[in-house]
Structure 1
Amino acid sequence: MSAPLRHPVGDGLPEPTIRIATLADLDALVALEHAAFATDRAERRAIRHAILSPTMDVLAALIDAPDADPTPVLVGAAVLERRRSTRIARLASIAVAPNRGGLGLGGKLLDAAEAHAHSHGCTRLRLEVRADNGAGIRLYERRGYTRFAVRPDYYEDGMEAWRYERAL
């Protein structure tokens, strides 16, 4: 991605920039992972691997700091996996900072992930979502994703995952 993608999030709120994450974002990505998920968190090593992998992309959503601090604030992220042997990409994760929930940032990250996968020649996007994640399920179904499978006992706590897919 050559230029950052910019999307409005809400009335009067800072507009996030969505770009490919770098190792400079690692600490903020780890903090976001711990703030956004109670279980099934990616460890620092896995996030670092995703940033450096030629077949994975970590999209970072950042806003300008509210004060004069020049360092932007990470408010969301998405992890996208691509395999060389298929044109199907996998959305491994979307995380939104808890204080940014309900503002449409998850949808903006999903849009960016879809566009990014498509730009790499992928024709379909798949994902898993917890069966009890009503907000996530509503988002994906509103965006045209179709459930095609269930994976029992997928998450650490035994919750099943619903698998979704959509043509890009």
Structure 2
Amino acid sequence: MPPSVRLRTARAADLPALLALEQTFPGDRMSARQFRHHLASPRARWRVADAGGTLLGYALVLLRRDSTRARLYSIAVDPAARGQGLGRRLLAAAEKDAAQAGCTAMSLEVRQDNPTANALYQSAGYRRLAALPAYYEDGAPGWRYLKRATPNEPGSFAGSGK
């Protein structure tokens, strides 16, 4: 990945670029209204990958009230920027944000037919918890994953989990 890519917190002005990134999903896309809601929510943690003003990816983590489990709600990388470690970098930043918010675990859902995303989560230490039949709007099944904080580093999701 080019060194000029920096991760930062998303802001309202990023909405058009976030919507464009959302188009990389085959379905189950967030609407502009949902993005605005999450951008304004104190329970949401955003990271965007910014390359000189161009957004190449984002990660959205939702924090639950009265819970120490965060949820990776969505992560997207521009197809032209894939294969450069950006998804892994966004995931690590999302985990760091969750840990800083006091979370001790993070869950996520992913399509079963997305081998790249499944490999990323497994290599990052996520454990498959459950199959989710017909989970997506097109009827595709999903997987639910969970990663707990590293025991020897409380409040941290660091490490590959291998």
Question: Structure 1 residue 167: deviation in Å?
Answer: 1.1
Residue in structure 2 matching 1:50, options 34, 38, 47: 38
Q: Over aligned residue pairs, what C-alpha RMSD do you find?
A: 0.9
Partner of 1:25: 14
Contact 2:46 2:94 in 1 (8 A): no
Distance across 1 between alignment mates of 2:70 and 2:3:
30
- For 1:114, what is the secondary structure of its paired residue? helix
Aligned sequence identity (%): 45
Are positions 1:163 and 2:144 aligned together? yes
Distance across 2 between alignment mates of 1:32 and 1:143:
23
Report runs of 4+ in structure 1 exceeding 4 Å deviation.
none
Aligned residues: 149
- Can you give the 5+ residue segments of structure 2 that lack an aligned partner in the other structure? 150-162
Query: Which deviates the most, 13-22 or 112-121?
Result: 13-22
- For 2:90, what is the secondary structure of its paired residue? helix
Question: Structure 1 residue 151: deviation in Å?
Answer: 1.3
- For 1:94, what is the secondary structure of its paired residue? strand
TM-score (norm 1): 0.86
Matches within 5 A, 1:86-101: 86-101=67-82
Partner of 2:106: 125
What does the per-residue CA deviation read over 1:83-125, in whole Å, with 9 as the maximum and x for residues that have no partner? 1210000001110001011111000000000000000000001
